[in-house]
A and B are shown apart, each in its own frame.
Chain A
């Protein structure tokens, strides 16, 4: 059996080579290892942050639907998010606290996903030097593929979130519409979604969100040890489908409404 030789890449401080007692892995690239974080720990971090985001997108969608109550009520809600806790809390406290929690969750979720992805590539044979690709597996429907492609749908959601913040929070061009105005939440929403490419991108992102939730929520149950009961697992799957469909559909009505001038 060949001795394991580390790759010639410059060793990164704090990392050690992936432990390997398998023959044939001597040319395995050094992967950043976090030896103190087990897969089960990382999955718990993803489950917690995933649950946070699942709850968040539901609440956010319900807030978004206030657009149908008209400009005054929608803008009042946006203002409420900034003045919540007044007069005890300074302006924006609750909002910034929520942003802090979400950002922490994002770092945990993406960081854990990155490490788990590296470990899965190491384990599934992708990194082994071998001619020919990894076996493709069964053919599946596009929706089934979308549900399984959590890294891809997650990536789409990450890009969407970045665009969304630039568009409707920061008002940064070219993401935001030309007539963005801080404090005019309703007008900014209508201006942004009146641009058909943006409306389409938002709608497609909602499809990605649906796929991500429909598979992700059962993963949460699985990774906290709750899915050992078949009946509970089925209820979780049904709930995930309902939540995924509701959030995606609820949000998607808004660009449709703006483009059809039902909301203007």
Chain B
């Protein structure tokens, strides 16, 4: 078993209002088949043994399907591997003596709560505009796990992959054409409050643990144009 002696620069921030900064820690006994979260677990064991505050981070199923976890590793949301949540990102790319930089998912719509843990309520606020249970069903049908990494990876802070996936799956769940248009309009308006504009940069589809396709981005413009200019009789 190869042992990796890693220097881990972790973002520490005690509360939302206070400033944060990177703190360097030594983890002398990491290994390549550790996941990113397991690396943080190991670090926290060390901190606990030394009587220090553990690093707070979001954690869930540890199987890549719940959408709760997510940290930025060396500048990339979730980690260096494409389309895998942080809990499924292994340290295989790192060598003994390497430096790893771990910070929270970064976006204005994902404010830091503490250390690496962020507030993902912005996604809920947008989903609520489509009636929450319907939005959840639409997202589930589309495969989205609402992890927020797409927003964090986007240089524009756009949530277009999240919103587009929801809008792509909303039509079959709407009672009629009017409801479809009304909900789409509300969701798009809410998204404009929370997120930035999309420029088809594609960072989102590189990080999405659900592997959502880039076509979903276009659903936003499609539903918007349909709601505003579509003929009433069409379905």
Which A residues lie at the B interface, using CB under 8 A? 2, 19, 22-25, 38-40, 42-44, 116, 119-120, 122-125, 127-132, 134-138, 148, 150, 215, 218-219, 221-230, 233
- With the chains together, A97 CA to B103 CA distance in Å? 54
A219 touches B206 (CB 8 A): no
A230 touches B215 (CB 8 A): yes
Q: Chain A residues with Cβ under 8 A from B21's Cβ?
A: 131-132
A124 touches B155 (CB 8 A): yes
B195 touches A134 (CB 8 A): no
Q: Chain A residues with Cβ under 8 A from B111's Cβ?
A: 22-24
- With the chains together, A53 CA to B146 CA distance in Å? 38
- With the chains together, A258 CA to B125 CA distance in Å? 60
- With the chains together, A222 CA to B220 CA distance in Å? 9
B residues 81-135 touching A (CB-CB < 8 Å): 103, 106-109, 111-112, 122
B158 touches A43 (CB 8 A): no
17 CB < 8 A contacts A-B: A23-B16, A23-B17, A116-B197, A119-B196, A122-B157, A122-B196, A123-B109, A123-B156, A124-B107, A131-B19, A135-B76, A136-B75, A138-B75, A218-B200, A219-B200, A228-B216, A233-B218
Which B residues lie at the A interface, using CB under 8 A? 16-17, 19-22, 72, 75-77, 103, 106-109, 111-112, 122, 152-158, 168, 188-189, 192-201, 203, 206, 213-226
Q: Chain A residues with Cβ under 8 A from B22's Cβ?
A: 132
Which of A22, A23, A123, A125 is most buried by chain B, counting CB atoms within 10 A of its CB?
A123
Q: Chain B residues with Cβ under 8 A from A221's Cβ?
A: 218
For B16, give the chain A residue with the smallest CB separation: A23
Which of B22, B193, B197, B216 is most buried by chain A, counting CB atoms within 10 A of its CB?
B197
- B208 → chain A closest CB, angstroms: 14
Which of A38, A129, A225, A230 is most buried by chain B, counting CB atoms within 10 A of its CB?
A225
Known A-B contacts: A221-B218, A223-B198. Give 4 more (CB < 8 A).
A116-B199, A122-B196, A123-B197, A215-B200
The one of B122, B152, B199, B225 in contact with A225, judged by C-beta atoms closer than 8 angstroms, is B225
- B204 → chain A closest CB, angstroms: 11
For B164, give the chain A residue with the smallest CB separation: A228
CB-CB nearest 4 A-B residue pairs = A123-B196, A225-B222, A123-B157, A124-B157
For A47, give the chain B residue with the smallest CB separation: B221
For A19, give the chain B residue with the smallest CB separation: B193
A219 touches B199 (CB 8 A): yes
- B189 → chain A closest CB, angstroms: 7
- With the chains together, A129 CA to B16 CA distance in Å? 12
Given A120-B197, A131-B20, A135-B106, CB of A225 within 8 Å of CB of B188: no
- A235 → chain B closest CB, angstroms: 13
B193 touches A125 (CB 8 A): no
Q: Chain A residues with Cβ under 8 A from B194's Cβ?
A: 123
A227 touches B107 (CB 8 A): no
